[in-house]
Structure 1
Amino acid sequence: MVQPSATDSFNARLLAFIQRSPSPFHAVAQMAERLRENGFTALAEGEHWSLKPGGRYYVTRNDSSIIAFVYGRQSLAERGIRLVGAHTDSPCLKVKPSPERHQHGCFQLGVEVYGGALLAPWFDRDLSLAGRVTCRDGEGRLYSRLLDFEAPIATVPSLAIHLDREANRSRSINPQKELPPLLAFLPESGDKPNFRALLASTLGLDTDSAVLDYDLCFYDTQAPAQIGLQRELLASARLDNLLSCFVGLEALINADGEQSCLLVCNDHEEVGSASACGARGPMLGQFLQRLVPDTEARLRMLDKSLLISADNAHALHPNFADRHDENHGPRLNGGPVIKVNANQRYATTSETSGFFRWLCESRSVPVQAFVTRTDMECGSTIGPITASEVGVKTLDVGVPTYAMHSIRELAGDKDAWYLNQVLDAFYDYSDALTF
C-alpha cells in the first residue's frame, strides 16, 4: 500500500476545511475550533485583556473575521511581530432582505452579486445556502445561529440555445433578471412559501422564536477535489482566499513560540474592505493598541515587524497567454508568487520581496513573480490597505490560480504546501526585521 505524502495529507485537510466553510462565518468558526484544540484562548473584545508572553490567543469580530496571536518569548520592541494576512470572503450570490419571487409557478429568491464574481459559471449548478441567521427568543433576547442547508436546494437554469442564438457569441448577463435561483414550484392553492419561515423550520426554532434577519449566500455543493491525470490540480470553490487562511493557520499553529506571530483573516476584501471587521477598518490596529498601549513602544515594534499578505495570484492560462506580461506568467506548481505593482495596488517593495525570496531559498521552495500587463488594470488586496492603516512593512504574495472568482477555481497540488513551508520559516525567523 502506497503511503500518502505530506503534501497529499496537507491538501486533504485543506479541501476538507473549504468544504466545511461555505461562508465566512463557517470559515471563522472552523478556524476558532482548530485554534482552541491547539491551546489558543478566546478573547472577548468587551472584556479586559491580560496577554502574557508564552500565551496563545484569538479574537473574532462579526463572526466573520479573526485574529490569532502567539505571544513570543522575545521582546516585542526588539523583535517585532511576524504577521500574515488573508481574507475569509469570496464572490457569491447573497440573498436580499425581502427575497421571495412568486411568478410563473416558480418560487425563486432575489440575490445581490457580492464582489467581482464570474457570473456565467453560476448557471446550471447544484446550489445550497449557508451563512448566519439572527433570531429573537421568547424572552426578547437576540442571538445568532450558523445555518447550512448542505443539500442542493436551488439552481439557476440557463436559457436554451434555441431561445438565444447569440449565447455563444455575444451574451451579457443581467444579474437582476437572470440570476435569481429557482427553489421550488408553487402550490396550486394555499400559502406561498415564506423565506423566513423556511429558515425557522430548518433551524428547528420553536414558535416563540423569530427570524429577524440573515446574512446568507448561495454556494456550489460540488465537493472540492484533487483532479488531473497525475492528480496535480486542486478544484474547489473559494480557493480565493480560504486556501491562504488555511495555510496561514497551519503555519501559526506550528510556530515554535520564540517570536511573536499573528494571523489576521479579514472579511469584506472582495468589496473594498471598508467595514469594522475589514482590513480598511480598525480591527488589527485596535488589537495592536491593546497589545502594546504605549505609542512609542508600539511604533518601535512595528518598525521591526513585517506583514505577508497572502491572496491568490493569476496563473498563466494556456488558452489566454496573451493576457499576461510575457516575462511574468506564473505557472501552477511553480511556487508562491510575489505580486508587484508600480502604482501600489500591491504593497511589495524590493526589500520585502528580497526577504521573501531568501525565505523561499532557505526552504528550497521555488518562487515566481507577477506584474500585470501595462495596458491592463491591476486588481488589489488587503496588503496596501493594511500597510497604510497600520504602518507595517508589507509584501503581497499568493498561490497561482486559474479561474479566479469563478464558482470553481483551480490551483496546483504543490503550491499551497510550498507557501506553508515559507510561512513556517517566516514565523520561526529569529532575527529582527530591520531592513
Structure 2
Amino acid sequence: MKVLVVGGGGREHALAWTLLQSDRVEEVFCSPGNGGTATMKNCKNIPLAVDDFVGAIDTVKKYKINLVVVGPEVPLSLGIVDRLRQEKIAVFGPTQAGAQIESSKSWAKEIMTLANVPTAKSQTFSDANSAQEYIQTQGAPIVIKADGLAAGKGVIVAMTLVEAIAAVDELLGDKPGKLVIEEYLTGSEVSVLAVTDGKTIRPLSPAQDHKRIGEGDTGKNTGGMGAYSPVPLVSDELMARIETEVLQPTLKALNQKNIDYRGVLYAGLMITPQGEPKVIEFNCRFGDPETQVVLPLLNTPLEEILIACVEQKLEQLPPIKYKAGSAVCVVVASGGYPDAYESGKAIAGIESAEQKGAIVFHAGTKLERDRVITSGGRVLGITAIGDNFDRAIASAYDALESIEFDKMYYRHDIGHKYR
C-alpha cells in the first residue's frame, strides 16, 4: 500500500519511518516533508503546503495512494479531513469539528464539562481588563492560555501576579480573541496518545515530554525538548482510570455533539500528588516529540492501527503490542529557540549518530544541494532504545555527540523525570 503523510516535522518523519518498517507499506509520500524524509528509502517528498487540500487530493489520485495520515493540527483545524472524505479518500484524523478540541481551548473545556472529566478550574475571557481582574481575585501561581492554536507555545504558567498580568497583555492585549485562565495544578505531566475510530478508543504507551527550554524544567514553554516512554509513574491501574475517567467519557461527549472522531485523541494530563489524573489539555493529533518515542517501541504494524480507525474496526484489532525496553528522544534546537533563531546552518554527523544505533528524526531541516541544513527551531530528535531508561538515555546522548551545527542547543537532562 501507499501512504501520504501530511506535514514536515519530526512527528511526520517518525510516522513515515514507522510505516516503512512494515512489508505491507511499499512507499510513503510526505507533503512537504523535510531533509530526513527526502533521503529515506521508499519515501518521496511532495512540495505542498499542509493547507493545500487540492494539491493533496491531486497527489492521492496521481500516485494511487491508499491512506492519508495528517500530522499537524493546522490542516486538521482547517478541515482537511472533511475535504478528503468528500472525495472518498481514506484519511486518518478528526474532522474540523473534532479538531476544535485543540483549536479552541474554551470549546475543549465545554467538552470536558459535558464529559465530567477531571480538569483544572477555569474561566474564559475575551477582554484583557476582565481577565486581569479575575487574576487579582485568584492570585498566583495561575495558568494563562491563548484560546487558539499556538504550536505548543501559547501557554504561560505565571508564578506571580506581575507575570500573570503581563501574560494577559502578551497573549490578548487589545487583539480580538479569547483567553482561558486556569488554576495551577501540581504533580507530574503525562501524555497519553489514544487512537479512536469514533466508537472504540485505545491508549498507546504513555510518554512524558519536557516542554521547558531550560534544564531543570525552567524557562519558556516550547513545542517539546525531549520525551521518553513508557512512563513508570503510569501503572496499569492508573492507565485503567485514565481510560474510564478521561478517554471514554470524552469520546462519548464528542459523540453527543454528533462528531465522528477518527484519529488521535491526545490527553495532556497532570497526575496529582494524590495520584489523580486531571486533564490539562486535549490535542487532536500525534504529539511531538512523544511520537518519536512511542512509535519506535510499537510492535503492531502502525498501518493496521490507522486503517482500523479509518474503517471503524478498532474493536476487532488484537491488543496493541510493544517491544521490550525504553525509548528516549533528545531534541536538538537552533540557538535562540523558542525566540528568534537563525536557519541555513549545515548539519554534520547524522550518519555517525545513526551508526551508533540512534534513530535521527528530522524536524526543522531541508535538503539543499546534497547538504542537510537547518530550517526551523527544533531541528532534530535523537531517539535511542535501550533495555532500560539509563541505557536509552546514555545511548541518545552518546549519539548526540556526533551531531554538529552552528549554535545548536539541547538539554542535558532529558529523561531525568523517570526517576
Instruction: Tell me if TM exceeds 0.5.
Output: no
Higher relative contact order (CA 8 A, sep 6+): 1
TM-score norm. by structure 1 comes to 0.24
TM-score norm. by structure 2 comes to 0.25
Greater radius of gyration (CA): 1
Give the number of the structure whose residues are more often helix, by fraction. Answer: 2
